[in-house]
Amino acid sequence: MSQTNENILADSIAGVPHLAAFDAMAAARMNAIELEALLVYVIDSVSSTALPTLANQFDVEGFVGYGVATNDAQRRDIIKRAIELKRYMGTVFAIKEAMKTVGYTDAILTEGIDLGNPSIDWARFSVNSELGDTVGLDGVSQSNLANLIREYKNVRSFLEGISYSVAIVDSIDPLNDDLNIKYQAPDLDEDLGHKSFFYDGTFTYNGAKQYLESNDSLIINIS
């Protein structure tokens, strides 16, 4: 991002050759300055009350990102990355990076979903996202994420669905496998944040599976 400077000389001196040459040189130098790197420091230091105005200025309001963000850190991030995301809009990179700004990490896009219609199946895609420890999931957040993806996808593609993965890491003593640890699938209308997962007997550490290390991961896919 560079700024554009027009000639600033008064009309009365604009025709003076050496002044006009200096003005042109100064304008060229100013136009070559990349402001994108400086933007990070500006956004991080401004008051949160200024963020809506900046979101409007950088055209990231609503489902483009600002309206999907759930805290000021995410709102600042989407504003800081606005120029980069706009530059790559319509690409897989833009979708993944936009999702990261609002807390959805390690997204996997699967393209060419086969629904029996070759003439259009090539344009269908689905998204799987790792929820992590801080992202909650309810009807509103699912809808917001789908709309965010639609903002950054290319026009010809169709979003067929979104699924979510949750990794639960348990500290288990591999020499003591008689501990009953269970998982209850939560209601999708309720928060699926890390706090909603609890052990209720569904998964039993009883020797049926051998745990070789003390930090085994349980992967749960939610469609």
pLDDT tens digits for 160-208?
999 988 766 555 554 554 444 443 444 443 433 443 334 444 444 444 5
Assess if residue 170 is contained within a domain.
no
Assess if residue 25 is contained within a domain.
yes
User: What total number of domains does the chain contain?
Assistant: 1
pLDDT tens digits for 81-92?
999 999 999 999
Residue 48, burial from CB neighbour count under 10 angstroms (0-12, 13-18, 19+)? exposed
Assess if residue 3 is contained within a domain.
yes
Assess if residue 190 is contained within a domain.
no
Query: Strand (E) positions, the chain?
Result: 105-111, 124-130, 158-171, 215-222
Assess if residue 97 is contained within a domain.
no
Assess if residue 147 is contained within a domain.
no
Residue 12 is part of which domain span? 1-34
Q: Which amino acid, residue 55?
A: A
pTM of the model: 0.61
